[in-house]
Amino acid sequence: MKNTDRPASREAATFDDYARELHRRSLGQLPPAVHAGLRDARRAALARREGPRMPRWLPAGMAAAALLAMVGSIALQPSADGRAPEAVATRPAKAPGPDPVRDPAALAATDPELALMLDSLEQTPDFYLWLAANDDALPATEHRP
């Protein structure tokens, strides 16, 4: 098998020259419409070049910014008890003390104003029992003139 780039014979070389000459002449015979089309194609291509060009680093920069934002949002995400990590770390531990709902007397021992208020209340349990029993007996739509 022939595997040469050069024409193998003078005949082949002549053929190459003949083909090249025909091709060269054909290029000079393109109709004006084709020339106009090529001019438009070239202008369309060059117009894209003259538009705003995106800097080459922009895609990589945008990706890096997105990654940073993602990492930051994960790091600053609130913990399970709803407080930001910094708040958990910096807030002083809650001092142990009496529960004002469950043990008002203990709270009153530390607060003189509360102690006075509690002393002014009726201390008889029977009174409250009677009051509760009568509340149940009263009709809900009782109208007092």
Which residues contact another protein by CB under 8 A?
1-5, 7-8, 11-12, 15-16, 19-20, 22-32, 34-35, 37-42, 44-46, 48-49
Q: Shortest approach of another protein to residue 4 CB, angstroms?
A: 6
Distance, in Å, from the CA atom of 62 to the CA atom of 53, rounded to the nearest integer, reads 16
Q: Shortest approach of another protein to residue 63 CB, angstroms?
A: 20
Nearer to another protein, 29 or 141 (CB): 29
Distance, in Å, from the CA atom of 131 to the CA atom of 140, rounded to the nearest integer, reads 15
Q: Is the dihedral of CA 31, 34, 38, 39 positive or negative?
A: positive
Nearer to another protein, 5 or 122 (CB): 5
Nearer to another protein, 44 or 74 (CB): 44
Say if residues 27 and 20 touch (Cβ distance below 8 Å): no
Q: Shortest approach of another protein to residue 22 CB, angstroms?
A: 5
Q: Shortest approach of another protein to residue 82 CB, angstroms?
A: 52
DSSP string, 77-96: ---TTS--HHHHHHSPPPPP
Distance, in Å, from the CA atom of 68 to the CA atom of 63, rounded to the nearest integer, reads 9
Residue with tokens 């393109």: 30
Nearer to another protein, 19 or 70 (CB): 19
